[in-house]
Amino acid sequence: MTPTPPPYDALLWEKKPFAEKVRMVCQAWALQGYGSPIGAILIYAVKVLAYLWAWTAFVRFTPGLGEVSEFGRWWSEPVAFQKAILWSLLFEISGLGCGSGPLTGRYFPPIGGVLYFWRPGTTKRPLFPELPLVGGHRRTILDVALYVGLQVALLWALTRPAITGAELWPVVILLPILGLTDRTLFLAARSEHYYTLILCFLFAAHWIAGAKAVFFAVWFWAGISKLNHHFPAVVGVMISNSPVVRFAWARRLMYRRFPDDCRPSSLATGMAHVGTVLELAVPITLGLGSGGTLTQVGLVLMLLLHSFITSSVPMGVPIEWNFVMVYGGFYLFWHHAAVSVTELGSLPLAAVLAVALVGLPLLGNLKPAWVSFLLAMRYYAGNWAYSVWLFRGDAYRKLDRLTKSAPWLYDQLAHFYDRRTAVGLVGKVIAFRAMHLHGRGLQILLPKAVDRVEDYEHVDGELVAGLALGWNFGDGHLHDEGLLRAIQAQCEFEEGELRCVFVEAQPLFGHSLSYRIADAKSGERERGELEVADLRQRQPWPT
């Protein structure tokens, strides 16, 4: 369980000027990635096995399907697929899937989820903070009761012999209400995927057709989102962090001229283009196929795509979600190859799917500030909203005034490691952000936010969201000015004690990233645009 130490003394690194720290940690990431211990990777593998075992246990509540050893006989039964979706929703909304464990900065406890969502007083992000009953910054008994009600409804459905409207209606009603009370829960449930599928189960005359449309949209828009200059940097970051590609020479190939030039190499750029084509080819081949050669080609491409993602163990670790995508690919496009999406049989549902699968993703690509990158299906494209929070001195200790289940990051790591090891590990988070194209904008923005960066504790907004909200998965809209206001209302930072930099994603066909700089007490200080062309010329560190 010992992480790979960086190639420098972390305690000496901590005292260096910020620009030098960024250079050193980025060069370390290029060869080491996050440096997660192999034991942490094995924990994720065990978690996946537990997730799969629980699914088979829920399927066995349906009489006549047989034992686990008879998987080949029952995997293609409709109830098996339906329970896979319901179980995945319960798994995710409980905080056990995406956003759990050390690769999301969650060490002790290793999950947030239920530890926050069951607890009154924790911070939430309501859709309309000023509304009575469902608004406010802190979770109430009503919020907890609604959340527990959804979990009970899902468990009840999973233990029924069959999935009918009686089992689905409580889920369909409760999840949007929870999204109104706390957008964190709606996103944690991966609603753009699982909730939309449940709507198909309930309202479609032929739900296989609707489910195909959902899977097609997920792959298609994920591919569209990578039509930018950001994705090559993602490839390099992923390969450098991959537990499979562990050779230093192979990782160096991802960069133009390591260690002096750590921008993406032509190889990384080429891999990014191939990956984009692959992600677009999967839905096209599967959508056009009818069970023959084209379908078989699509399934092979799908396996290549999700095997690469899973084996790379990306930050955020959406591992179980990738298993669902592969299972759904075989169930929907191979076993039910003859079913067309035109067989939906419900005009009202078709209208809902048009909004969820076309309207929102299109709007989210053109106007990313308006739509969560999850609802827009812009998965792992390297083009996300993000934030950096700067706490002056030990002002971060004011976060202890929040009701939360996880302590400050270094306090979590103190259960396992000495100070030197902890600093070396947490410092890699700076590299993760800086190595992406959008992170190079911090070279411009941090000096605008504070006079001297070295006087501040530099914390990625993802980690703040994990501490305050109990869930984080790359959505910078969860740790934007709304979270800053919620935290300020409870922690009361003084002027200059907490400064935040908020950077939005690049719109499709756009050429810049918008940014805001704010102080916790006095509010917004500056806003403007960062030109992507300028960022492409910069190294990940200030020069």
Each residue's pLDDT, cut to its tens digit, for the chain (543 residues) gives 789 999 999 999 999 999 999 999 999 999 999 988 888 889 999 999 999 999 999 999 999 887 888 899 999 999 999 999 999 999 999 999 999 999 898 999 999 999 999 999 999 999 999 999 999 999 999 999 999 999 999 999 999 999 999 999 999 999 999 999 999 999 999 999 999 999 999 999 999 999 999 999 999 999 999 999 999 999 999 999 999 998 999 999 999 999 999 999 999 999 999 999 999 999 999 999 989 999 999 999 999 999 999 999 888 899 999 999 999 999 999 999 999 999 999 999 999 999 999 999 999 999 999 999 999 999 989 999 999 999 999 999 999 999 999 999 999 999 999 999 999 999 999 999 999 999 999 999 999 999 999 999 999 999 999 999 999 999 999 999 999 999 999 999 999 999 999 999 999 999 999 999 999 999 999 999 999 999 999 999 998
Residues forming beta bridges with residue 264, ordered by sequence position: 255
- Tell me how far apart the alpha carbons of residues 138 and 135 are, in angstroms, rounded to a whole number: 8
Handedness of CA 337, 340, 343, 344 (dihedral sign): positive
Say what the pLDDT of residue 2 is.
87
Task: Tokens for 224, please give them.
Answer: 């569209």
Say what the pLDDT of residue 1 is.
78
Handedness of CA 390, 470, 400, 495 (dihedral sign): positive
- Tell me how far apart the alpha carbons of residues 30 and 505 are, in angstroms, rounded to a whole number: 24
Q: What is the DSSP string of 361-409?
A: HHHHHH-TTTS-TTTTT-TT-S---EEEEEEETTGGGGGGGSB-SS--H
Say what the pLDDT of residue 249 is.
96
Say what the pLDDT of residue 66 is.
78
Say what the pLDDT of residue 8 is.
97
Say what the pLDDT of residue 67 is.
84
Say what the pLDDT of residue 246 is.
87
Say what the pLDDT of residue 414 is.
95
Judge whether 127 and 183 are in contact, CB under 8 Å.
yes
